[in-house]
């Protein structure tokens, strides 16, 4: 089995450093462009099926990548983004950043000290649900010979990859930083054991990354 794990394309909230989490924000034009470039880069790869977070930015990314192919796409809440509760919607960067952004920024700068706000998930909860998803992929015999697209989010994707690497330390959660938008990591599952083949592959060039709409 091969898993092609992709982070969704850019959204307007990504661009202005507004916390998204489970808030359902669509891709912007640049995000759709990155997804189309990724689709072009992956067009010769065999993909048998796809799983996506139910959030629109991940779902649309998967739909663009799989466009023109007769491939089933299933939603799975276990790979949706971490819920940031009452932090969602706040500006975490720029001159007009929210006064609560310092507490939220611990999630990136000192993850072990991050305290989930009201309604938010803990890192342990995210590890548990993404781990359950990965375990199912490893154990389902009927998927053994499948190539599967998995469209997810920055924190959820990092939790999946950290588990494969055997790193469940909160302090080292962002050891490899946030995966770039539309980056693809390929995971081979053989005899029930997942192994990362390539990590953080992007199918767009630097000049494409700077592309802007008018």
Q: Which residues are catalytic?
A: 8, 81
How many Å from the N-terminal Cα to the C-terminal Cα in the chain? 42
* Count of helix runs (H) and strand runs (E) in the chain: 7, 6
For residues 213 and 200, give the distance between their C-alpha atoms in angstroms, rounded to a whole number.
25
DSSP per residue over 116-181, as a string? --TTBPPHHHHHHHHHHHHHHHHH-GGGTT-EEEEEE-HHHHHHHHHHHHT---GGGTTTT-PPPT
Contact 164, 195 (CB under 8 A): yes
Number of other residues whose CB lies within 10 A of the CB of residue 196: 15
Helix (H, G, I), strand (E, B) or coil at 31: helix
For residues 125 and 83, give the distance between their C-alpha atoms in angstroms, rounded to a whole number.
10
Number of other residues whose CB lies within 10 A of the CB of residue 86: 14
> Beta strands 193-201 and 2-7: pairing type?
unpaired
């Amino acid at each position: 089995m091969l898993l092609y794990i992709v982070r969704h394309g850019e959204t307007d909230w990504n661009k202005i450093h507004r916390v998204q989490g489970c808030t359902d924000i669509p891709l912007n034009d640049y995000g759709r462009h990155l997804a189309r470039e990724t689709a072009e880069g992956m067009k010769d790869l065999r993909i048998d099926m796809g799983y996506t977070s139910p959030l629109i930015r991940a779902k649309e990314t998967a739909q663009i990548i799989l466009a023109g192919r007769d491939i089933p796409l299933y939603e799975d809440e276990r790979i949706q983004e971490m819920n940031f509760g009452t932090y969602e919607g706040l500006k975490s960067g720029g001159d007009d950043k929210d006064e609560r952004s310092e507490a939220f920024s611990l999630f990136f700068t000192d993850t072990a000290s991050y305290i989930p706000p009201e309604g938010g998930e803990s890192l342990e909860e995210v590890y548990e649900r993404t781990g359950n998803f990965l375990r199912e992929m490893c154990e389902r015999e009927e998927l053994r010979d499948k190539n599967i697209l998995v469209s997810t989010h920055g924190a959820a994707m990092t939790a999946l990859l950290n588990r494969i690497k055997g790193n469940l330390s909160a302090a080292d959660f962002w050891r490899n930083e946030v995966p770039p938008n539309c980056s693809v990591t390929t995971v081979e599952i053989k005899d029930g054991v997942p192994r990362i083949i390539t990590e953080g592959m992007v199918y767009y060039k630097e000049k494409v990354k700077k592309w802007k709409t008018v």
